[in-house]
Amino acid sequence: MTTSDLLLDAERLDQLTAALTNAGYTEPLPRCISEAEAEVGLYITGYIVPALVQESWTRALALLKAYALAGAVAPDIKAAAETALAELRAIAEGKRPGYPRVPGDSPGTGAWGSETKFEQRTHLDPTE
């Protein structure tokens, strides 16, 4: 994702860039985008989520981060980020059946030594 993928019109992008520059940040938008991509990735690990949906959530979180650095988050930016975070949390908690798990990636399988089976004993008898 690049700065142009944030879908800001020229005026809004200029204002945000100026505010970030005045606050002493250099090249913060790519950093905000990278952080948002990583955050989205953590929430959806193990789930199949369309790329465009991921991009939408990344955009919302990147804009929230950027405007927070600039010192003023617009209500529409905040609302979009809150909606994205709510959806991401629901996916991470397995509450969105529309996003299936990656095949072969089910929780609780593949533990250490999962192939080794032990005989169940109810007691230890030292004479055996």
Rounded Cα distance, 6 and 58, in Å:
9
Whether pLDDT at 118 is above 90:
no
C-alpha 72/C-alpha 33 separation (Å) is 18
Q: Can you tell me the distance from the alpha carbon of 78 to that of 54, in angstroms, rounded to the nearest whole number?
A: 18
pLDDT band at 110 (very low <50, low <70, confident <90, very high): very low
As given in the structure block, the two tokens for residue 52 are: 């465009």
pTM of the shown model:
0.78
pLDDT tens column, 31-74: 999 999 999 999 999 999 999 999 999 999 999 999 999 988 99
101 φ/ψ angles, rounded to the nearest 5 degrees: -75, 155
Identify the CA nearest to 34 among candidates 82, 81, 83, 1.
1
Does residue 95 surpass a pLDDT of 60? yes
Chain-centre distance for alpha carbon 124: 49
| Over residues 102-122, mean pLDDT | 56
